[in-house]
Amino acid sequence: MDEHKGTETRKARATSVQSVTRALDIIDAIADRPMMLPELAARVGISRPQCYRLAAALTERGLLSTSGRSGYSLGPRIGELAAIMERSATK
């Protein structure tokens, strides 16, 4: 029974890592320009529903912004993190 539980834990970790990787792929994909969901999903190579869920989570955290006309773009939190990094680098 414990062996089965360990396998489930490893699978859950692998799925979590894959989700993080895909979320970062989304951020990378829209770094050049805003994109609508269908294009974004195709560029990242994931399904539209999966892309929507990840983009919604990133939007909730401020890492993405969305507008009806231009689609998804980098959110304000990206700028905040960049400013923190810049301040840290100058210390």
The mean per-residue pLDDT over the stretch 20-24 comes to 96
Give residue-wise pLDDT tens across range 51-87: 999 999 999 999 999 988 899 999 999 999 999 999 9
Bridge partners of residue 54, in order along the sequence: none
Number of domains within the chain: 1
Torsions phi, psi of 32, nearest 5? -75, -40
pLDDT tens, 26-39? 999 999 999 999 99
Model pLDDT, residue 6: 67
CATH number of the domain within which 33 lies: 1.10.10.10
Q: Is the pLDDT of residue 14 over 90?
A: no
Query: What is the Cα–Cα distance from 21 to 27, expressed in whole angstroms?
Result: 10
Higher pLDDT, 56 or 13: 56
CA dihedral 29, 30, 34, 39 (to 10 degrees): 30
Cα–Cα dist 63/10, whole Å: 28
Domain coverage including residue 52: 2-89
| 58 touches 23 (CB < 8 A) | yes
